[in-house]
Structure 1
Amino acid sequence: MKGRTIILDHLGDVEAAALMVDGQLDDLLIDTPEAPRVGTVYRAIADRPVKGQGGMFLKTPDGSAFLRQIKGLAPGQPILVQVTGFAEDGKAIPVTSKILFKSRYAIVTPDAPGLNISRSIRDEAERDRLLEIAHEAMDGASFGLILRSCCAGADDDEIAEDITAMLTLARTLLGDDGNEMETLVEGDGPHVLAWRDWVEPAEVVTEAGGFEAHAVLDALDLLSEAYVGLSGGASMYVEPTRALVAVDVNTGRDVSLAAGIKANMACARTLPRALRLRGLGGQIVLDLAPMPKKDRRPFETALRAAFRADGVETTLVGWTPLGHYELQRKRARAPLGDLMA
């Protein structure tokens, strides 16, 4: 099946959303009933500083959180924070005090003033139109604003309404003067996130049973395996351990001199999707197929381009003395293996 299809459904009683591109599962969002959603805003209470790490443990309604900030923060002090990712078992919830108010068209940034248009919008007339909308909707507010790439060609009123909604939410929350820990805003669930982030034109399926009808359940069965097929008969195995995610690349039956670089380039193109669908982050180590050192730079270029198009922040760390390649990826989602257990 050609084209893009967004399927909004449930896995049992859990809300979920899937994005199919040309008949292949490209992205997957599953709610986390046992953990706070990314984007949740707390009024937290400072608990105790962590010497040597420059951070502070906080008390929240959902348990202990960790904030990489200590300056100006004393134990017992209330502070507004936002969940930035998922915590591993037994670890504190990662949070930030730099809260973002994000919707489909607009992101209000209280800590970064200024009006900004997505750099992917290059048409000057369109940028001028969006700036006019932004100036009018922000109405002199001191907060910052980012208009996202999907604003290009969007209706003026829809963009303005989105900005106003996020601005109102920001003013309400940042005007909070409470002293007790409390959950102030729940993060967006999978269906809202699909509307917010999957903005390219697509057919939207909302009927119950959509996952079965559009082969999402079959794709989930394949994701339970470490094996990932690559072009040209190559393959890779994506295997999470407690310490890191190991990726082993194999050339398959290809015994040509170029087999290694072909398999590794296929890995570079496929890896972001493989990690995204499995919800994997943290330290990632690639055990690549053998290739000459002169081919390392083209591989890195392809890997960088692939992750640039991915929605999860990933840092390309570099080569190890053993010839492995290391990455550090934000734990933006819960691991699929935990959700499906």
Structure 2
Amino acid sequence: MQNTLVINAEGPEVRVAVVEEGSLAELFVERKRDRGLVGNIYRGKVSRVLPGMQCAFVDLGPKVERAAFLYVADVVGSGEERRLFEDSETDSDSPDGQSRGRARKQLAARKIEELLKPGQDIFVQVVKDAIGQKGARVTGYVSLPGRYSVFMPNVDQVGVSRRISSEKERKRLRELVNGVRPKNAGFIIRTAAEDANDDELRDDVDFLARLWDEIMRRCDESRTLGLVYADLDLPLRVVRDLLREDTSEMVIDDEEQYERVQKFTTAFLPRFASRIKRYDSRRPIFDHYHIEPELRQAVQRRVPLKSGGYLVIDQGEALTAIDVNTGSFVNAGSGNLEDTVTVNNLEASDEVARQLRLRNIGGIIVIDFVDMDKEGNRKKVWDAFHKALSRDRARTNVTKISELGLVEMTRKRTRESLVQLLTEPCPTCDGAGVVKSVTTVANEVLREVRRSGALVDNDKIELECAPRVADVLSREERDYLDHLEKRFQRKIEVVPQKSWKPDQYRVAGKMSTEIAAQEAAAAGHGGGGGSGGNGARSPARETRDLRGADNGRKRRRRGRGRDRQASA
């Protein structure tokens, strides 16, 4: 499959788009003032050892804000060396870095308290950037990626990428590297090494060995905590990791970056130098290649399918859920619901795999395909999904489709997803995706009137709130306000505030935030008693609240039911 690498380097960030057959397949972003740490090597100091978690926290120096996280299986000497070559080499084919961190469930042969002590200096490499409230993850098993191989100084072994299928070629590469590698040092031979000539591979091995010697020299010269070696920046990593035989061209819109990339390519990959192109049109490069519209779509929750179906992608803290829906797709050529559902799922399987790469969604992922009754159809969809994932350089692990149409999978995560990188939590809902309804806020206002109405010194109680909330109070709850006026012998006036958010209100001079804080404090001290007999409730209002919640559940079930009639 031919691809084009498009680099937008003008401005404060560098964006690299991988375009496959005219569609955006992957996007990498590096901000010049906020480069990621993956691949960087640090002299750190152990700040805490947690035997109960079998992990440690490592201080990486004053320029890294949060302490890094180190699993016991990532500590040199833990007995995990044999596992480092069990995984496929796909992670190291990505410009995100060459993660070699071990899974949490794998237990090391030795305990972390036997290997590390607080205050101990340690040499580590970042394998996963800090995400959210989590600090960076590091490993003691340092690795240096080259074009054709990955150098691992702490492991005396040679591995070959599982993507190289020819046993003859695997044997040739292994024997060649074994003959030239430094004593007690390990290498993983990358996919790009397939069919590379002997001199190219030897030069790659020699370059990485010399680079490691230089890193060790720097480490010996400086005993301060901090950065010892920084990985290449994004444009050069892309040349190293993504410029391949199936790359038709690499187009760059910035003169300085173009010259750097051209010089780097000429020195290390001369046969690809002619494919580096300078883009000098006035039209923005991402507009020219029609990337911007796809990029805007890539942060949307809903993803349309060409047939009329659609995906809904919800990224959460614990996992990502992807729901497949038939939408307007009716498969006019078939009168069989099972066939319609299967065709929709086959189309969705390709798009789900594409979205995982494009959005860089990692961690636990659950995909809810439309239910299929026949085992043969479930297998057909799973095979199509597995094939679509084969283009993904990130390591994936996928379970079979269950009878409920669910697929559980994991995808290796080394950096922020596209949504995390390009968006921020909504200041109104704090990232929850929902806000209180105007009816709920109106009810809160009325409860506060019941709570504090008798304490107001004036003969009038002012209710200040957003216009929509004011409308609910003035129209739907006017009878209940009249009841409260009689009860407290005070006039109640609703005052709309046009600039306020829906959840903002003020009752008799007391703001909603102050009220919420007082309620939380009371609950924390066991002061949250019932309302007792404090006045009449509004039965009509409470009935509407309950009915609205129930109708919401029914709407969700009906929405699901439209795609689940095959099993009814």
Q: TM-score if structure 2 supplies the norm length? A: 0.54
Greater shift after overlay, 126-135 or 166-175? 126-135
The answer to whether the 8 Å contact 1:101/1:109 transfers is yes
Change (3 A) 1:261 1:171: farther
Q: Distance in 1 between matches of 2:29 and 2:171?
A: 38
Structure 1, gaps ≥5 residues long: none
Give CA deviations for 1:223-269 in whole Å, capped at 9, x if unaligned: 12122233543221222123322211012233432233333333332
| Aligned counterpart in structure 2 of residue 288 of structure 1, from 369, 375, 391 | 369
Question: Which residue number corresponds to residue 161 of structure 2?
Answer: 118
Question: Which residue number corresponds to residue 181 of structure 1?
Answer: 225
Give CA deviations for 1:99-154 in whole Å, capped at 9, x if unaligned: 1111221111223323344344455665565456524542x432112222222333
Letter in 2 for 1:65: A
Letter in 2 for 1:217: E
How many residues align? The count is: 339
Question: Which residue number corresponds to residue 67 of structure 2?
Answer: 64
Letter in 1 for 2:194: A
Structure 2, gaps ≥5 residues long: 73-111, 255-283, 331-336, 424-568
Q: Secondary structure at the match of 1:84?
A: strand
| Aligned counterpart in structure 1 of residue 392 of structure 2, from 302, 310, 319 | 310
Change (3 A) 1:107 1:233: same
Q: Over aligned residue pairs, what C-alpha RMSD do you find?
A: 2.8
Higher strand share: 1
Give CA deviations for 1:87-107 in whole Å, capped at 9, x if unaligned: 321211111111111122111
Give CA deviations for 1:56-105 in whole Å, capped at 9, x if unaligned: 11111312100001241111111111111233212111111111111221
Q: Distance in 2 between matches of 1:265 and 1:293?
A: 14
Q: Distance in 1 between matches of 2:10 and 2:403?
A: 44
Greater shift after overlay, 214-223 or 226-235? 226-235
Question: Which residue number corresponds to residue 7 of structure 1?
Answer: 6
Q: Distance in 2 between matches of 1:290 and 1:306?
A: 20
Greater shift after overlay, 225-234 or 96-105? 225-234
Question: Which residue number corresponds to residue 326 of structure 2?
Answer: 251
The answer to whether the 8 Å contact 2:26/2:359 transfers is no
Greater shift after overlay, 166-175 or 20-29? 166-175
Question: Which residue number corresponds to residue 88 of structure 1?
Answer: 131
Q: TM-score if structure 1 supplies the norm length? A: 0.87
Q: Distance in 2 between matches of 1:65 and 1:112?
A: 23
Question: Which residue number corresponds to residue 38 of structure 2?
Answer: 38
Q: Secondary structure at the match of 2:67?
A: strand
Q: Distance in 1 between matches of 2:412 and 2:393?
A: 10
Alignment of 1:1-341 (within 5 A): 3-10=2-9, 12-32=11-31, 33-34=33-34, 36-61=36-61, 62=64, 63-69=66-72, 70=112, 71-122=114-165, 126-127=169-170, 130-131=173-174, 133-135=176-178, 137-138=180-181, 140-173=182-215, 176-177=219-220, 179-198=223-242, 199-202=244-247, 203-208=249-254, 209-230=284-305, 232-255=307-330, 256-292=337-373, 294=375, 295-316=377-398, 324-341=406-423
Q: Distance in 2 between matches of 1:286 and 1:300?
A: 11
Greater shift after overlay, 149-158 or 182-191? 149-158
Greater shift after overlay, 186-195 or 95-104? 186-195
Change (3 A) 1:128 1:286: closer
The answer to whether the 8 Å contact 2:124/2:139 transfers is yes
Q: Distance in 2 between matches of 1:24 and 1:6?
A: 12
The answer to whether the 8 Å contact 1:4/1:19 transfers is yes
The answer to whether the 8 Å contact 1:58/1:66 transfers is yes
Letter in 2 for 1:244: L
Q: Distance in 2 between matches of 1:110 and 1:249?
A: 46
Greater shift after overlay, 63-72 or 281-290? 281-290
Give CA deviations for 1:13-32 in whole Å, capped at 9, x if unaligned: 11221111111111111115
Q: Distance in 2 between matches of 1:287 and 1:46?
A: 43
The answer to whether the 8 Å contact 2:67/2:135 transfers is yes
Letter in 2 for 1:93: A
Change (3 A) 1:127 1:321: closer
RCO (CA 8 Å, sep 6+): is it higher in 1 or 2? 1
Letter in 2 for 1:185: Y
Q: Distance in 2 between matches of 1:317 and 1:45?
A: 40
Q: State the structure with more CA Rg.
A: 2
Question: Which residue number corresponds to residue 508 of structure 2?
Answer: none
What displacement does 1:335 show?
2.1
The answer to whether the 8 Å contact 1:78/1:179 transfers is no
Change (3 A) 1:42 1:20: same
Letter in 1 for 2:355: A
Letter in 2 for 1:248: D
Higher helix share: 2
The answer to whether the 8 Å contact 1:4/1:21 transfers is yes
Q: Distance in 2 between matches of 1:326 and 1:119?
A: 23
Change (3 A) 1:289 1:107: same
What displacement does 1:155 show?
4.6
Greater shift after overlay, 298-307 or 318-327? 318-327
Q: Distance in 1 between matches of 2:18 and 2:43?
A: 34
Letter in 1 for 2:11: G
Change (3 A) 1:50 1:132: closer
Q: Distance in 2 between matches of 1:187 and 1:306?
A: 30
Letter in 1 for 2:362: G
